[in-house]
Structure 1
Amino acid sequence: MDDHRPGPDADSLTGHLLIPAPTAAHFPGGTGTGAVVLGPDTALDAGPGTEVAARWLRTVVGPATGLDLLPPAAAEGQVTVALRVSEEVTERHGPEGYRLSVDGARAGAAVLIEGGGPAGVFWGAQTLRQLLGPAAYRRVPLTPAGPDGHRWTLPAATVEDGPRFRWRGMMLDVARHFLPKDDVLRYLDLLAAHKLNVLHLHLTDDQGWRIEIRRHPRLTETGAWRARTKLGHRASPLWTETPHGGHYTQDDIREIVAYAAERHITVVPEIDIPGHSQAAIAAYPELGNTDVIDTTSLTVWDTWGISQNVLAPTDSTLRFYEEVLEEVLALFPSPFVHLGGDECPKDQWRASPAAQARIAELGLSGEDGLQSWFLRHFDRWLAERGRRLVGWDEILEGGSLSAEADGGSGRLTPGAMVSSWRGYGGGVAAAEAGHDVVMCPEQQVYLDHRQDAGEDEPVPIGYVRTLADVYRFDPVPPGLSPAAAAHVVGAQANVWTEAMDSRARVDYQVFPRLAAFAEVVWSTGLPAPADRDPAGFAHRLGAHYARLDALGVDYRPPAGPRPWQRRPGVLGRPLEGPPPTR
């Protein structure tokens, strides 16, 4: 973050209600002097490096506005939207920064978007869409064109902007409740509309395996389906008896990744090990601790919580997951691969003669060391292939930050990154040890947690985290040393779907809180949490609701859930007591 850059000014916050708030914005004449009218003859002049943003404008904004946005012709006085990559913008705002200027008095490019790189041009195009108004978020123009065709007025403006963090993400759990491919593509569009650039896909868990692995087809033939599902919190007595499941083919994954790349979003896959693995063991029983339980009797888990069935620490298990990851790496170009590493019960390992022999053979300190050994193996395996391990903060346990631990078996590689979910503590420890960190503490940014204490909230679980609470979140905790703070590469909001069995339920839990989160991780001039203005943000959000309406997002209204958004009789978790595990 460049400290010399100004914070959001009054025009950006109240004049045109942009979300997330830009670094600086000036609107000198409203919709009067200097305004630009886009019409049927408006041209799109895409310079080198801007082809992706130009394609998005023509294929998404074009149909919504009825504008063809063709390349410039020789016609005199033609209004032109110009896209350029600018070294000056790079120096001021970085490769994702942009400068958007609208000037009706300027010859040639009346609308100019200059980006520090291709991504910066794209984020500038997202701001242009906001300035066009909510109707630009629809798929076709709302009214028939008159004799002169569709016309759209842009106010005279100068917007300079760039992100605070380079990792601005959302984790979407498609293992607990499967979301079809088209819903994932839709969420990529919603992330892009909020200038978020990482989709972390949680693809495997006890309750389902969602990605095709051709060398191990039973992972989806068996592991992608469960016979029934717990309805509500795991303490609920209710069940849905309809089998639930689904998976993404490898071509589906290629499409998702390519669609994301067109929106400058990185898709990070998560394959859970060594816990959260019952679906895989149900498909391939030899992966489990066969000397402790009859793994052939296991099925894909139909309830929530943490299954006791974990992977056996054998060479064959390691090789099985290496084969899985070989196919995963071929599908996901992301430099990061998330391997879970969290919530691994140790009871089976304690009871397993084979696991205890492995601990002795490797000179490990115990079962915690065995979990760490699993993760360190794949940390090195990924590093050898030019990729980086990401894991939940449990990967720090068992001596992973100490080169002397466990008989000198070594610490995590320098490139390993930590997703800090159990508060800030794990992230602080990792950052102080020189590891990059993504902050995602459940106390602040778990969007499956209830949004209000009211009894009408559908399947209320976890902490009460209101829109204002999310807006006050800060990924960099106070007191972190400057060197460690530089290792906080960003944050992500996590969306666990145990209680979200449809797209509408996901929408309700995610929005509008994701808009607040997006401003937290994007806006460089956002004050410290105590000085933020949730009321001012809520005012701008009033305009943003119209954009969400146009996009068909079933968000939670400010006054509380609509009647059809409630789930009477479906139990959540009482407010009393400690928060649930994920």
Structure 2
Amino acid sequence: MPADSLVPRPAELSTGDYDGLVLTPSTRIDADHAARGTEAWLRTELGAATGLPLQRGDGQNAQIRLSVDPAAGLGSEGYRLIVDGEGALVVGHDPAGAFYGAQTLRQLLPAAAYRRAPVDSAARWTLPSVRITDRPRFGWRGCMLDVARHFMPKHDVLRFIDLLAMHKLNVLHLHLTEDQGWRLEIKRYPRLTEVASWRTESQVGAGSPPVFDGRPHGGFYTQDDIREIVAYAAARHITVVPEIDVPGHSQAAIAAYPELGEGEPVGVARHWGIIDNVLNVTDATLEFYRNVFDEVLELFPSTYVCVGGDECPKEQWRRSETAQWRIREEGLADEGELQSWFIRRFDTYLAERGRRLLGWDEILEGGLAPGATVMSWRGTEGGIAAAKAGHDVVMCPTDTSYLDYRQSEGDDEPIPVGTVLTAADVYTAEPVPAELAEAGAERVLGAQVNIWSEHLDSPRSVDYMAFPRLSAFAEAAWSEGARDYAEFQPRLERHLLRLDACGVEYRPLSGPHPWQRRPGVTGRPR
């Protein structure tokens, strides 16, 4: 593909006067020790697509050379890619930079480079002559994937990781627990998977009264599954951030262990929305979740661990003798401060273990835990307040970052939710609020998009809602400088050929295919 089809857009790009590098059966790849992981990845991916052996060279006879050089002045995750008469050279500031340089090299080839087997024995695999220097704008370029409302099997998670890596994203935030399901094996508490990992049926759409499908739904990841997912992501320089929700969004856990709750025994939730059942605030419940997090920390090496903290109704606490006693005992003002007290227990727990607490912006209410990092989702206000108070933030406001939101006003959008959020809206959104331009911008770690799955009951529907908006977000999170959607769209259209080759069932820019629609299923548009 031409160099001007790259997504995300590199910082510096110039084309050369050479014919470029033609890959042949004699083409060899060489890498220094720090880039060997990227060498293995590149050989596997390009070898499958081209059918070429791409054997290892010895530095002297290699046409593609990969290396890591922290002294090259490229900056964290930065790289330089040169294709000229001598071959192709990728230099990364660090191993991640070398990997991103190899991702760009792959994009320079025809879109068929993203297939799993050769489709044309006569294909000519030519890398154009270019010189590219590139680095990311933000260190946090993330995507939250909700596997709790609708479970995504492991092989589909691995495929999704490949798609994130293709777009130079580096954080996969896995939303693992919810009212509607618990997706992570915890050996100390087997009922979390025996009971809490499945529900008897699921709400279809967002109508009132609710309509249910009558079909059991469930699934969970074993601890070995998680180890595999984490290792697979790490090999692609993606950090997996786990989310275990407390004290709200916890009905599935309460269904498995009723002593965690405040009310009568309940089942795993079948319907969507904010649910009143919350965790109680007893010492036993705190100990239960400390034990859960003990196992979580063994599985996920991420510095950040998300505890949720969002959408926690307070009515049960207002009626609870235990909660009211806790408020008096701790000298708290109200139930809002009680939630903050609960979250602070886990801020301390994580800090003692060298980790950092991450939570949705409701954790600001009642006082923010000292070490907390805030995900600003209810607009930008929470992120602004947290940054000005000296806390790190990740920006993901609903109106520009929620990829479960509908993509047009059309009646053919499946189960329309929220406001309209187009690829252009995602692309032009600015992650750093203007209010932080003079002070506080350094506290913005980056941005992420969120894929909530109430209405996404298969990997196909995730593809439809994620792409091509995730491609637009990738450039907004990676590339410096002004963004013009009119300039981006032709590159995006060429990039769609890569997604076609990967088998991604994205939403066409012109609107959904007939089989991507859900006629007659009520949504919740705003």
TM-score in same-fold range (> 0.5)? yes
Q: Does residue 113 of structure 1 match 2:113?
A: no
* Residue 271 of structure 1, aligned match among 236, 239, 244: 244
- One-letter code aligned to 1:445: S
Deviation at 1:151, TM superposition (A): 4.5
- One-letter code aligned to 1:383: A
**Distance in 2 separating the partners of 1:360 and 1:219:** 32
Which residue in the other structure is 2:125 paired with?
A: 152
**Distance in 2 separating the partners of 1:299 and 1:163:** 45
Q: Does residue 370 of structure 1 match 2:351?
A: no
Which residue in the other structure is 2:176 paired with?
A: 203
Deviation at 1:274, TM superposition (A): 0.1
- One-letter code aligned to 1:267: V
| 1:64-463 alignment runs, 5 A limit | 64-72=49-57, 78=61, 80-89=63-72, 91=73, 93-104=74-85, 106=86, 110-144=87-121, 151-233=124-206, 235=208, 237-289=210-262, 293-295=263-265, 298-400=266-368, 412-413=369-370, 415-463=371-419
**Distance in 2 separating the partners of 1:574 and 1:271:** 28
Deviation at 1:431, TM superposition (A): 0.5
Deviation at 1:88, TM superposition (A): 3.9
Deviation at 1:73, TM superposition (A): 5.5
**Distance in 2 separating the partners of 1:353 and 1:154:** 70
**Cα deviation digits, residues 323-353 of structure 1 (max 9, x gap):** 0000000000001000000100000000011
Deviation at 1:396, TM superposition (A): 0.7
* Residue 505 of structure 1, aligned match among 457, 461, 471: 461
Deviation at 1:236, TM superposition (A): 6.0
| Cα distance, 1:65–1:257 mapped onto 2, change above 3 Å | same
**Distance in 1 separating the partners of 2:57 and 2:459:** 41
Kindly indicate whether the alpha-carbon contact (under 8 Å) linking 1:271 and 1:340 is maintained by their aligned counterparts in 2: yes
**Distance in 2 separating the partners of 1:224 and 1:87:** 45
Kindly indicate whether the alpha-carbon contact (under 8 Å) linking 1:38 and 1:79 is maintained by their aligned counterparts in 2: no
Q: Does residue 21 of structure 1 match 2:22?
A: no
**Distance in 2 separating the partners of 1:135 and 1:424:** 40
- One-letter code aligned to 1:435: H
**Distance in 2 separating the partners of 1:564 and 1:223:** 32
Deviation at 1:143, TM superposition (A): 1.8
Which residue in the other structure is 1:559 paired with?
A: 510
- One-letter code aligned to 1:344: C
Kindly indicate whether the alpha-carbon contact (under 8 Å) linking 1:234 and 1:304 is maintained by their aligned counterparts in 2: no
**Cα deviation digits, residues 38-63 of structure 1 (max 9, x gap):** 11111111112101111111222221
- One-letter code aligned to 1:219: L
**Distance in 1 separating the partners of 2:425 and 2:201:** 35
Kindly indicate whether the alpha-carbon contact (under 8 Å) linking 2:415 and 2:455 is maintained by their aligned counterparts in 1: yes
**Distance in 2 separating the partners of 1:61 and 1:124:** 14
> What RMSD over aligned residues (CA atoms) do the two structures have, in Å?
1.4
| Cα distance, 1:236–1:513 mapped onto 2, change above 3 Å | farther
| Cα distance, 1:236–1:517 mapped onto 2, change above 3 Å | farther
5+ residue gaps, structure 1, are 1-11, 401-411, 576-582
Q: Does residue 543 of structure 1 match 2:499?
A: no
**Cα deviation digits, residues 211-246 of structure 1 (max 9, x gap):** 000000000100001001000125364211110000
3-state SS, counterpart of residue 66 of structure 2: strand
**Cα deviation digits, residues 250-292 of structure 1 (max 9, x gap):** 0000000000000000000000000000000000000001xxx
- One-letter code aligned to 2:78: G
3-state SS, counterpart of residue 135 of structure 1: helix
**Distance in 1 separating the partners of 2:76 and 2:220:** 35
**Distance in 1 separating the partners of 2:237 and 2:19:** 31
**Distance in 2 separating the partners of 1:476 and 1:246:** 37
Aligned residues: 526
Kindly indicate whether the alpha-carbon contact (under 8 Å) linking 2:30 and 2:58 is maintained by their aligned counterparts in 1: no
**Distance in 1 separating the partners of 2:414 and 2:437:** 41
**Cα deviation digits, residues 457-486 of structure 1 (max 9, x gap):** 000010101111111111101131544100
**Distance in 2 separating the partners of 1:234 and 1:385:** 45
Kindly indicate whether the alpha-carbon contact (under 8 Å) linking 2:3 and 2:128 is maintained by their aligned counterparts in 1: no
Deviation at 1:15, TM superposition (A): 4.8
3-state SS, counterpart of residue 418 of structure 2: coil
Kindly indicate whether the alpha-carbon contact (under 8 Å) linking 2:30 and 2:62 is maintained by their aligned counterparts in 1: no
Kindly indicate whether the alpha-carbon contact (under 8 Å) linking 2:177 and 2:244 is maintained by their aligned counterparts in 1: yes
- One-letter code aligned to 2:119: L
Which residue in the other structure is 1:43 paired with?
A: 28
Kindly indicate whether the alpha-carbon contact (under 8 Å) linking 2:170 and 2:238 is maintained by their aligned counterparts in 1: yes
Which residue in the other structure is 1:486 paired with?
A: 442
Identity across the alignment (%):
60
Kindly indicate whether the alpha-carbon contact (under 8 Å) linking 1:447 and 1:494 is maintained by their aligned counterparts in 2: yes
